[in-house]
Amino acid sequence: MFEKRGDYQMFIYSLGKEKWPELTAALRDFMNAVVENVYNVDEIVRLSKEYGESHVQFKANGFKPDFWVTMTDAMTT
């Protein structure tokens, strides 16, 4: 995703290097929780909403909701 979208690159750079490990860890934790709850759709919905809501704070840094589409494509193809 980073290589394909210049606007995502700008978002990541605007956060600063100190935030990169935090974002990576949050994504890893989210994905692990989804895998652990793969048969519990309600929990996956809850986890997804929580993860998405945690990104609202990044709007000022250039985060765009359509980043989710690119991220989903990257994970499923």
CB 12 within 8 A of CB 27: no
* Domain map (residue ranges) of the chain: 6-76
Give residue 74's pLDDT. Answer: 80
Measured between alpha carbons, how far is 38 from 57 in angstroms, rounded to an integer? 28
pTM: 0.82
Max distance between CA atoms of the chain, in angstroms, equals 37
For the chain, how big is the Rg over CA atoms in Å? 13
Q: What separation in angstroms does the CA of 21 have from each of 16, 27, 56, 76? A: 10, 10, 18, 23
State residue 19's pLDDT score: 92
Render each residue's pLDDT in the chain as its tens digit; 77 residues. Answer: 777 889 999 999 999 999 999 999 999 999 999 999 999 999 999 999 999 999 999 999 999 999 988 888 887 77
Identify the pLDDT of residue 10: 94
Yes or no: say if 63 and 8 are a contact pair by the CB < 8 Å rule: no
